Structure formats: C-alpha cells, structure tokens
Structure 1
Amino acid sequence: MIEGKIIKFYREKHRRTQGELVKGICSVTHLSKIERGMTEYSQEIMDMLCERLYIDMAREVTRYHQMNNVLDSWQEAIIMQRTAEAIRLKDKLEEEPLKGIPDLRLSYDLLQIRFYLFMNDIDEAERLIAEMEIPDESEHSYEHYFYHHVMGIYYFLTGHYTKSIQTLTSINQSKYTNHEYFYHLSLAYHSIYSNITSYYYAEKAIQHFRKTLNMVRIIDTETIMLVQLNSREYHDFPETKRRYENLIRICDDCGLTDRKAKLLNNLGYEYNRRNQYEDAVYWYRLALDIIPEKQPLYLMVLNNYIESNRLGNLIPANKLLDMSLKALHNSKLVADASYMELELQSVILQGQEQAYYEMIEERILPYYRELGSQYLAERYEEILFQYYMKHGEKDKALRLAKNRFKSQATLLI
C-alpha cells in the first residue's frame, strides 16, 4: 500500500526508529507490516502516525501519484526529443522529496541518467551510473530492462558499439514496452557497419515511432535507413536524392536545424562517393553554414568539405591546409574522432606521405579497432595494405592481411 511506503519514507527521513514512532500507538510488528503493505490498519492509527510525522496523508498520496505522472512525462519528453520540456520537468522533480521513496527512486535515478545522456553530458551520466544500485528483486522487471536500455545508450555514446549491442539485445521486448531501444540498436549496428541488421531494427523502430507520432525520431530513423540502402552499393540515386530533399524540407517545417545539418552532410557524402565533387561541396557548405563550430559535427563536415575540394582540385591545397589548421587550433575536441580525421587530412595536404601512413598505422587504425568500427578499420587497413605492397614491405602487408582475415572469421562465429 502506498500509505505504508510514505510512512516509512518520512520516518526514515526524520531518523526515527519504528519503536520511537509507534510508542503509545501500536506495536512495532504492526508498523512493520503497515510499512511493507502486509496488513490492514485503522484510520485512527494512521492519523496518529501522520500527526507524529507532521504529514497530511491524503496530500502525500496525491503527490505520490502526481510524481509518477511527472516521471512518465519526463521520459516522454526525452523520447520525443523535447529538450526545453525535459529540462523543466527535471527541475520540477528535483524539488520533490517523495522521489526518495524506493520504487520512485529507481525510476527517477534511471531517468536522470537517461536525461544526461540525452543532453550529451557523459561525465554526469557516468557519475550517476557509478552510484546506481539495481535491487535483486527488479530482475526481469521493466526497470531492469530500462537499466539495460540506458546502459546500451551509454556504451554507444562512448564508442563501445559491440558492448552496446550486447546490452540492448539482452532486453526482453515483451516485458519492456519502450521500443525506442530498437532505434538505438539500429544505430549501434550501423556504427559497426552491419547494414542489414541495422536496417532490420530501423524498420522495427519506425513502426514504433509512427504509432507514437514521434516525428523527430521518424526523421532520424528514415535517415539511418537511407544510409543503409546506400552503404555497400549505389542505390537508385535520383530516389535517394528525392528522399533526402524531402526529409530536409520536413526539418525546415519543424525547425529541426540539427537534423537538417546531418541530412545535408549525408547528401554531400552521396555526391562525393560518386566523384561529383562540386555538388558534394555545395551540400557540405550548406551544412557548415548552420552548424555551430564547437560541435563535433562541424569538424566532421569540414573534413568532408576539405576532402571533396582536395579530390576535385576545387580549392588550392595551401588554402585548404589553412582552413584545417585554423579549425584544429580553435577546437577543444582533441579526443574526438573528427579531430583526428582532420589532423590526418592536414598531413596529406602538407604532402607528408610517410607521416600520413605512419599516423594511420600508429593512431587511426588502432583507434577504430578498439572502437569495434569494422568498416573504418577495414578502410584504413586497405589503405595501409596498398602502401606496404607498393613500397615492398610484404611482411607488414601479410601481417595486416592475416589480422583482417582473423577479425572477419571472428565475426562469423
């Protein structure tokens, strides 16, 4: 019973033992059963307990139910990507003392972690994860699988894609009704370039988002599906372009600038991989114009922009080098992959061929291997393999080939 939980919460809050609270009212055993919801009680006893705790039980029960509703609204705001509302509800919940009741506390703690991951505040999320305790009795409950969902998101955002997949696939979808996690599974599989599986989960995710009228996530999922269609071979390009432009228009209508920037970049990439460099530069430039320079996405798009200009001989190498060095100097994202990729671009723009391949060998390739990013690791392995063969370093080429065969065999197990 809710009343028993409330009595226990305020008793512990006032640091009173059961014996101290019930003196002259009832037995300790009776109070213990009330607190655990295992017995009936008289209204007279409840009134006396509330008087000693200075609480109005009817008001507290109403607040308990209201807090449950606010927690549900907070989760919905995060899922629907409504940032301002999510921040407002977080502030409201911080002022609510009843969040300390154990069953509410678990939901509140999980949603706090989910909120900070949503806001990309990884440090605060990590602090809360370290403090998190999941009760044994919650195993196979909604909260148990919500914890797995949250941890799957955390592993994804910290670049541990394989661990993210292992965590998210452990969720029982019949017991965990928040099928938003299919979207995060699709993202994780996309990040290791498992395109068919990514597309499969994207289809499941978009069904859920259509049912819940989550337009923002519909756009995000449609974007993933487009990327998968074009991942290994060229899809019908006029159709691809039409779908991208349609999603860009929807972003304009909904005021989704951040999503629009990603779509513009993706469309630029589709032109770039078809060696249509002038068109690629056009779309990259549109993306750069609306991305704040402090965001990791800015460095990634800038790197793509510089590469297309370099490959198409559209801007002199010295001007492209100045552009990249200036961006690196102004950026604080030194640990981000986009920073490292732009550093690599700067090396090749300076004509330092040996330094370019050394950086791939010593920094780029180990980084993507550790992340479990199969596609990017294979891409740089191929670049190194060709370099080794060209310069007669056959032992290195053989070791690289063996390592690649071993990693591919592991994926088949």
Structure 2
Amino acid sequence: MSMEKMNIGAIIKYHRQLKNMTQFELCNGICSVTHLSKFENYNKEANWETIMLLLDRLGISLDSIQQASKKISAELSHLLDAMLSYDKERATECYNRVEELKEYIKFSNYISLYHLYVYRYHLLMNDFESAEKEREIIRQIANSLAEQEKALYEFINGAFYIIKGDYKISLDILLKVEADDLLPSSWRAELYYFIALNYANLKDSSSSIAYGHKALEAFSRSFNYMRILHTQFLLGIAYTDLSIYENAAEQYRYIFKNMNLINTDELKSAMYNNYALLLEKMGRLEEAARHYILSMDHAKTNQEYLVSLCSYTELLISQGENEKALQNISEILRETKSGSMKKQQLIFRYYQYLLKNRKGKAMDFLENDLLPYLEKAYFVEDYNKFALSLAQYYADTNPDKALYYYKKIAERGE
C-alpha cells in the first residue's frame, strides 16, 4: 500500500502531542517551527529526509506507518465481507479490530469509508442510536465524499429508513441509487434485496419478486448462502401473497434443505411461521399447526413468539377449537399490552367476545374500536377481513350499514 493513503503530517502531529512535545522540541535542528506547523496542518509538503528525521525523533518507523496502512485496508475489507455475508458474529470481531486502528484511520484517506462501514455495521446490529450518530457525522462530511462513497451513503440511508419503517422513502432512495449506477459493485446484490424488501412491505408482491430474483442471482454468484436464504424467504412470502402456492412452496423447500448448513437460528421462527401461513392457505391445516408450534419453539424474542401464537390461535378458531383458543387468547391479551402489538390486542379482544358467545358486544367492539384503529393505521387487508364480518352481521338487521361497509371494502380494491 502506498504512503499516499496516509497523512504523514497529521500522524507526526498526533504522536508529538501524545508525547507532550512542543513543535520546537520536535523540530529543533531539523527544520523551522513554521515549516513543521505547515507540514502538520496539511499546508506544506516535507522532503523525505525531513520526514525520516522527525519520525526518528518521535521513535516511529516509516515501516510501522506503512504496515498500519496495509492493516487498515485489510481490516476494512474483512468488515465489508462479514457485513455482506450477514455474519454478525464475524462482523463484530472485524469491527473491534477496525476500532483498534481508529487513531491511524483518522489520519488516512480511509476515514470516509470507515464511517460508512461503521454506519452500516450499527444498522446490521440493530444499534439504531449509534447508527444515527454515524449518519450525522457522514452528513457533515458528505461534500468531501467521492462519487461512489456518496452512492454508498445514500444506499445505507435507504437501509436506515427500512428499519424506521419508512418503506416508501427508502424505496425512492434505493431506486435512485440504482438509476444513478454509481454504487460499488460489491453492494449491488444488497441493493436489489432491499428494494425487494421495500416492495414486499408496501404490498407490491410482483415487484418484490422481480427484484428478489435479481438479488438471488447476484447473491448466488458470490456464494452468499445466508443472503440466498433471506431472499428465498422473501420470495416465499411474496408468492404466498399472490396465491402462487407451488412457487412459494419451492422457496421453502430450498430453505429447509439448506438452513442447517449455516447458522440460521435467528431466522427459524419467522421461517416456520411464514411457511405455516402458506400451508394454511393451501388447506394443509395439520401441517400448518405443527409449523406454528415449531415457530413458537424457536422464537428468540417474546414478540416472535406472540406473532406465531396469534396465527396459531386464529387457526384454532377456524377449526372450532374454542376452548384451546380461549386459553391462548388470555395469554395474548396479557402479553400484548404494549403499543407495538396494539393490533393483536384489539383483534383478540374481539375474538374473545365472540368465543364467549357475546356476539352483540363483539360487533360493537369491532365497529367502534377495532375497525377505526385498522383504518387509521392503514392495515388494509385486516380492515377488509373484519369489515366483511360486520357487513354480513348487519345484512339482515341494518341494510344501510351493511351497504356502507361493503362500499368501504370495495374502495380498497377487494
């Protein structure tokens, strides 16, 4: 690695201050204080003889600086590879090694890349607070970034907005990054994956599948097995949403065949849950129930467990297993009091009234509490499902209200 990647003047200044030396003490007999001051502050080049004398007085070898430059380059590359492979454990090890080089990185041309990679690392580790701090640092130096670095910054911002749940903002950013075509090629597969993920969250399953296949092809070329499984999972969900069940089942067959080859523990609960949803839609209810239970058994968080418990309980209700469903509902209502699962709290309060033969109370709750929340939060699919139940309830007793809810469903494309 050539020395042009390192700012020798800044390194000399750093080590001089570290040793509590004045400029005069360092440069006496070597060069003038004015010359050293300009050299330390990027304003003047020094000849190699002067540099060697200054380094020698500081007790630093030129070779150590060259080795530091090579190490920075290597460790940043290792961190990049770990992040692209979605290997969180290895990424943390690489990040810690990079942080050990931080003082040298500050005086190198790697500083922008360092902040970009650290920004992405914190998002990977779901450390949103640290990610926001890095994002602000990069925003302040954005004008000094190279074109590819600016494209990478925008790409990581796209990932940032996915975590915030702002899928439309993220999609707009990422589609622009794709159109500009300046993103380093190593990040291209990730770009396609995140675009597919945004489309999935925005319920545009066809577009999600199109970009999912682009991501799958790119990940396959680099033998990125973890990301291949992530993409297959995304495709399985999209095909299920489009009722293309055989294609969805094909994705899950691939996942379950290969998921034991690599560490996928954090994905197993979600994979089993979504495969159970597919099985339920295909009418394979016993298998669906078994996979919901598997999902709960592999849950790493309480929320993962509750998501599968809710789906499993709805399956029990559809099968008329009301006693078992009511037991589960008691647990769901007890555990979903936080705002993040308000939808589940309301839905299963409604189910509880129904299963306890309080249909009038259930319909009042549906009309005055559940449906208004679903409409305001824009849960379209859920709104239509429960609005249909209310319309059918009013069909004989209040045709005007029934018609009102049928029209509401029609307005949403159902």
TM-score past 0.5 threshold? yes
Identity level (%): 17
Confirm or deny that 1:187 pairs with 2:191: no
Q: Which residue, 196, 203, 217 being the options, matches 1:207?
A: 217
Confirm or deny that 1:7 pairs with 2:9: yes
Deviations 1:189-228 (Å, cap 9, x if unpaired)? 1110112221121122112211211001111112222322
Give yes or no for contact 2:196–2:211 (8 Å, CA) kept in 1. Answer: yes
Which runs of structure 2 are paired with 1:132-171 in the superposition (5 Å)? Answer: 132-138=138-144, 141-171=147-177
Confirm or deny that 1:232 pairs with 2:242: yes
Which runs of structure 2 are paired with 1:115-126 in the superposition (5 Å)? Answer: 115-126=121-132
Unmatched 5+ stretches in structure 1: 370-375, 409-413
Q: How far apart in 2 are the matches of 1:153 and 1:136? A: 18
Q: How far apart in 2 are the matches of 1:12 and 1:147? A: 28
Confirm or deny that 1:46 pairs with 2:46: no
Deviations 1:312-350 (Å, cap 9, x if unpaired)? 22x324x32332442554568x2435x632542243223
- After superposition, the Cα gap between the structure-2 partners of 1:316 and 1:403, relative to the gap in structure 1 and judged at 3 Å, is closer
- After superposition, the Cα gap between the structure-2 partners of 1:195 and 1:402, relative to the gap in structure 1 and judged at 3 Å, is closer
Give yes or no for contact 1:186–1:198 (8 Å, CA) kept in 2. Answer: yes
TM-score, normalization: structure 1? 0.81
* Structure 2 partner of 1:63: 68
Alpha-carbon RMSD across the aligned residues, in angstroms, is 3.5
Give yes or no for contact 1:267–1:283 (8 Å, CA) kept in 2. Answer: yes
1:384 Cα deviation after fit: 3.2
Letter in 1 for 2:9: I
Q: How far apart in 2 are the matches of 1:200 and 1:298? A: 31
2:259 is paired with a residue of what secondary structure?
helix
1:65 is paired with a residue of what secondary structure?
helix
Letter in 1 for 2:77: D
Q: How far apart in 1 are the matches of 2:285 and 2:121? A: 40
- After superposition, the Cα gap between the structure-2 partners of 1:94 and 1:289, relative to the gap in structure 1 and judged at 3 Å, is same
- After superposition, the Cα gap between the structure-2 partners of 1:323 and 1:3, relative to the gap in structure 1 and judged at 3 Å, is closer
* Structure 2 partner of 1:411: none
Larger radius of gyration: 2
Q: How far apart in 2 are the matches of 1:3 and 1:189? A: 40
1:167 is paired with a residue of what secondary structure?
helix
1:120 is paired with a residue of what secondary structure?
coil
Q: Which residue, 251, 258, 276 being the options, matches 2:259?
A: 251
- After superposition, the Cα gap between the structure-2 partners of 1:229 and 1:3, relative to the gap in structure 1 and judged at 3 Å, is closer
Higher relative contact order (Cα pairs below 8 Å, separated by 6+ residues): 1
* Structure 2 partner of 1:269: 277
Q: How far apart in 1 are the matches of 2:240 and 2:70? A: 48
Q: How far apart in 2 are the matches of 1:302 and 1:255? A: 24
Letter in 2 for 1:7: G
Letter in 2 for 1:165: L
* Structure 2 partner of 1:297: 304
Give yes or no for contact 2:212–2:235 (8 Å, CA) kept in 1. Answer: yes
Give yes or no for contact 1:99–1:108 (8 Å, CA) kept in 2. Answer: yes
Give yes or no for contact 2:336–2:344 (8 Å, CA) kept in 1. Answer: no
Q: How far apart in 1 are the matches of 2:99 and 2:241? A: 44
2:241 is paired with a residue of what secondary structure?
coil
Q: How far apart in 2 are the matches of 1:275 and 1:366? A: 32
Q: How far apart in 1 are the matches of 2:249 and 2:223? A: 25
- After superposition, the Cα gap between the structure-2 partners of 1:401 and 1:310, relative to the gap in structure 1 and judged at 3 Å, is closer
Q: Which residue, 272, 288, 291 being the options, matches 1:283?
A: 291
- After superposition, the Cα gap between the structure-2 partners of 1:158 and 1:117, relative to the gap in structure 1 and judged at 3 Å, is same
Unmatched 5+ stretches in structure 2: 355-361
Aligned pairs, how many? Answer: 391
Deviations 1:135-165 (Å, cap 9, x if unpaired)? 3444562221221122111111121100110
1:252 is paired with a residue of what secondary structure?
coil
1:95 Cα deviation after fit: 2.2
Confirm or deny that 1:92 pairs with 2:100: no
* Structure 2 partner of 1:372: none
Letter in 1 for 2:280: N
